[in-house]
Structure 1
Amino acid sequence: MLLFGHLGITLGAFIGLQQLIPRLKSVIDLRYLAIGALLPDLIDKPIGKVIFASAFANGRMIGHTLLFSCLLVLAGIYLYQKRRDTRICTLALGSFFHILEDQMWGRPQTFLWPLLGWSFPRDSIDYTGFEYLIKMLEGSFKPEFSQTYIAEIMGIGIIVIFTGIWIKKRLNQNSSD
Structure 2
Amino acid sequence: MLLFGHLGITLGIFIGLGIIIPRLKPAIDLRYLALGAILPDLIDKPIGKVIFESVFSNGRMIGHTLLFNCFLVLAGIYLYQKRKDTRALALASGSFFHILEDQVWGRPQAFLWPLLGWSFPKDNIDYTGLEYLIKMLESSFKPEFSQTFISEILGMGIIAIFAGSWIKKRLSKYSSE
TM-score range, shorter chain: over 0.9
Do the aligned residues in 1 keep the contact of 2:2 with 2:140 (CA within 8 Å)? no
Instruction: In structure 2, list runs of 5 or more residues that go unmatched.
Output: none
5 Å-filtered alignment, 1:127-138, equals 127-138=127-138
The CA distance in 2 between the partners of 1:163 and 1:137, in whole Å, is 22
Aligned to 2:42: 42
The CA distance in 2 between the partners of 1:140 and 1:70, in whole Å, is 29
Aligned to 1:52: 52
Give yes or no for the alignment of 1:150 onto 2:153.
no
After alignment, is 143-152 or 130-139 more displaced?
Answer: 130-139
Aligned pair in 2 of structure 1 residues 7, 51: CA closer, same or farther (>3 Å)? same
5 Å-filtered alignment, 1:13-162, equals 13-162=13-162
Identical aligned residues as a percent = 80
RMSD value, Cα: 1.2
After alignment, is 121-130 or 26-35 more displaced?
Answer: 121-130
Residue 127 of structure 1 and its aligned partner are, at CA, apart by 1.9
Aligned pair in 2 of structure 1 residues 153, 138: CA closer, same or farther (>3 Å)? closer
Residue 34 of structure 1 and its aligned partner are, at CA, apart by 0.1
The CA distance in 1 between the partners of 2:82 and 2:68, in whole Å, is 21
Q: Which amino acid aligns with 1:116?
A: L
Q: SS of 2:71's equivalent?
A: helix
Instruction: In structure 1, list runs of 5 or more residues that go unmatched.
Output: none
Aligned pair in 2 of structure 1 residues 160, 137: CA closer, same or farther (>3 Å)? closer
Residue 109 of structure 1 and its aligned partner are, at CA, apart by 0.9
Aligned to 2:171: 171
Residue 82 of structure 1 and its aligned partner are, at CA, apart by 1.5
Do the aligned residues in 1 keep the contact of 2:140 with 2:148 (CA within 8 Å)? no
Q: SS of 1:145's equivalent?
A: coil
Q: SS of 2:22's equivalent?
A: coil
Q: Which amino acid aligns with 2:130?
A: F
Q: Normalised by the size of structure 1, how large is the TM-score?
A: 0.95
Q: Normalised by the size of structure 2, how large is the TM-score?
A: 0.95
The CA distance in 2 between the partners of 1:88 and 1:38, in whole Å, is 14
Equivalent residue pairs, number? 177
| Alignment deviations for residues 35-87 of structure 1 (CA, whole Å, 9 cap, x no partner) | 00000000000000000000000000010011110000111111112211111
After alignment, is 4-13 or 17-26 more displaced?
Answer: 17-26
The ranges of structure 1 where at least 4 consecutive aligned residues each deviate by more than 6 angstroms after the TM superposition are: none
